[in-house]
Structure 1
Amino acid sequence: MTKRTSSAASGERLAIENAHRAALRSIARVVDDSVEPQDPGTARDGIARMLSRGSVLLLTGAGVSTDSGIPDYRGPNGSLKRHRPMTFQEFKYDAGARHRYWARSFVGWRHMAGSEPNAAHHALAEFERRGWATGIVTQNVDGLHARGGSSTVVALHGDLDRVGCLVCGFVEDRDALDARLDAANPGYVERIELDLSLVNPDGDVTLEARHVDEFRMVGCLNCGSEELKPDVVYFGEGVPAARKEEIARLEDKSSSLLVVGSSLAVMSGYKLLLDAVRAGKQVGIINGGPTRGDAKADWLWRTRVAPALEQLLEDVGGLALRDRGPGN
């Protein structure tokens, strides 16, 4: 190996290590209270009037799916208190870590795939149907917005329903892969006593080492490689450029932003709030706990997500009737 080649390899290793450390900092970010929440009535009324004007871009996070049995990351019972998500660098460059992920995900997928949209998903779909919202950008990877009736959804961090090969790029439906894994691991799930409350937002669960060791991975249908990855953006991985462009088009069509069920701890989501503030657009936040954007929001409603959204359906509908006036 030449000195130049060795130097390039060292530089690549350093870049990987730096990206991994940055991902760990993002995972560990703690979001504390930065401002006093507004009076609930004031915040609710402000968000209702924002929605009544239409063209609202919705940004959602894990708090929207908690009522579907999928935990959030940073809430009081968030999964980060018991589990650290794997970084992209670990997944790509550590075969043992990748094998461990697939063993755990094979078990957890049954719970994720069986989850159903809840009242929050249905309410947000209704926002779009009534013309109040331009669409949804979601940080969730569970696919529940589309199943809940929303038609314009951009999955910022991807979707667990698809799996791609890191070697050749071949894409496979997750259900099809699951069937192949099931055939390679007969009786595997039945041998594991699973506490469904411990399934993580990224779809995996903690397993004993002996269960991980006995799991058998399958290869890519196109090239045979076992370097398969769910089509989701891991901590330490960038959002695809095409997805960023799709989000930018939605931002251009929107006159305000409503954040629902997200702490905005991750920069890819927080950036949408920063974009809205820079553009002079109103920002509303509905969340059960503090968020990274609280100090920048025009309306800050600290409350449970699903009941708040259902209440807004009534409030905004009432505003429309009043604005129309008698006999109109």
Structure 2
Amino acid sequence: MTYQEFLTSAYGRKRYWARSYIGWDRFSYCQPNATHISLRNLELDHYKIDVIITQNVDRLHTKAGSINVVELHGTLYEVICLSCHKKYCRFKIQEQMKKLNPNIREFATMVRPDGDVDISEDQIKQFLAPQCEECGGILKPDVVYFGDNVPRERVMKVTQAVTNSDSLLVLGSSLSVYSSYRIVLQAAEEKKNIAIVNIGPTRADHCAHLRISAKCGEILPKIC
């Protein structure tokens, strides 16, 4: 779904929230893997990482115990009103939707990485989407959709973090999205050491001083 579609399509919003409602319990139950734990260790035990910049919206780095995490594209754990800009915890919105939709099942066996699931058209049609309790405005997950922009203050925070670093480690990303690719471009322009660990080529391979084609979960636990 694009940002414009979310803004202009009441049906699109209803479809999003219905799918998110059903997939939320399983999505929010997900736990950190070996890569998240290894990065936590590198940050807090070995003092090798100053900032973790993640494109993921699942908050698993925080669950793993990492402290200084920048969620580049936001997080599904927060919801924002597009009118009054009040923010809500996603669990609170789940409770609101449960009250609005007592006859909709709240469980899914297959959930995508963004918390989305497949449900029937009948379920979507009868679903009541949540609204802001303060002003009745449209609620949106506080994430960056396609066609949306990363908030300027977040961009500035990332830019400063790269400037303050002596090296950049890219893990498990093809860097196809420009918001992440430009981080590597900045690091290269500032003559930082750049290492990339990813299965398959990335958009920034030409910038890397070290390139490892492997699974992050197999490499990182061996060094920390």
* TM-score normalised by length of structure 2: 0.95
Aligned-partner residue type, residue 96 of structure 1 = Y
Alignment equivalent of 2:41, drawn from 126, 132, 141: 126
Residues 45-99 of structure 1, C-alpha deviations (whole Å, 9 max, x = no match):
xxxxxxxxxxxxxxxxxxxxxxxxxxxxxxxxxxxxxxxxx11111111111111
Per the alignment, residue 310 of structure 1 pairs with 221
**Counterparts in 2 of 1:1-328, with a 5 A limit?**
86-129=1-44, 130-189=46-105, 194-196=108-110, 199-225=111-137, 227-313=138-224
Structure 1 residues 158 and 256, CA gap change in structure 2 (3 angstroms): same
Does the aligned pair in 2 maintain the 1:285–1:301 contact within 8 Å?
Answer: yes
**Contact in 1 for aligned 2:196/2:205 (Cα 8 Å):** yes
Unpaired segments of 5 or more residues in structure 1?
A: 1-85, 314-328
Show structure 1 runs of 4+ deviating over 4 A.
none
> Which whole-Å CA distance do the structure 1 matches of 2:85 and 2:147 have between them?
20
Greater relative contact order structure (CA < 8 Å, 6+ sep): 1
| Structure-2 separation of matches of 1:189 and 1:159 | 24
Corresponding residue number in structure 2 for 1:14: none
C-alpha separation between the residues in 1 aligned to 2:122 and 2:169? 45
Residue 125 of structure 1 aligns to which amino acid in structure 2? R
- What secondary structure does 1:134 align onto? coil
Unaligned runs of 5+ in 2: none
Secondary structure (helix, strand or coil) at the match of 2:57 reads: coil
Q: CA deviation at 1:206?
A: 2.0
The AA in structure 2 aligned to 1:244 is V
Aligned residue identity for 2:200: G
Cα distance in 2, alignment partners of residues 224 and 205 from structure 1: 26
Whichever of the two has the greater Rg, that structure is: 1
Task: Give the match's secondary structure for 2:79.
Answer: strand
CA contact (8 A) 1:134 1:253 kept: no
Mapped contact 1:141–1:160 kept (Cα < 8 A): yes
* CA displacement 1:259-288 (0-9 Å, x = unmatched): 001110100001101111111111111112
> Which whole-Å CA distance do the structure 1 matches of 2:177 and 2:207 have between them?
16
Q: Name the structure with the higher helix share.
A: 1
Q: How large is the RMSD of aligned CA atoms in angstroms?
A: 1.3
Does the 8 Å contact 2:171/2:196 carry over to 1?
yes
| SS of the residue 2:150 aligns to | coil
d(CA) in 1 for partners of 2:132, 2:56: 26
Whole-Å Cα distance in 1 between the matches of residues 105 and 185 of structure 2? 44
* Structure 1 Cα separation of the partners of residues 201 and 208 of structure 2: 12
How many pairs align? 223
Cα separation, 2, equivalents of 1:187 and 1:233 = 31
Q: CA deviation at 1:311?
A: 1.3
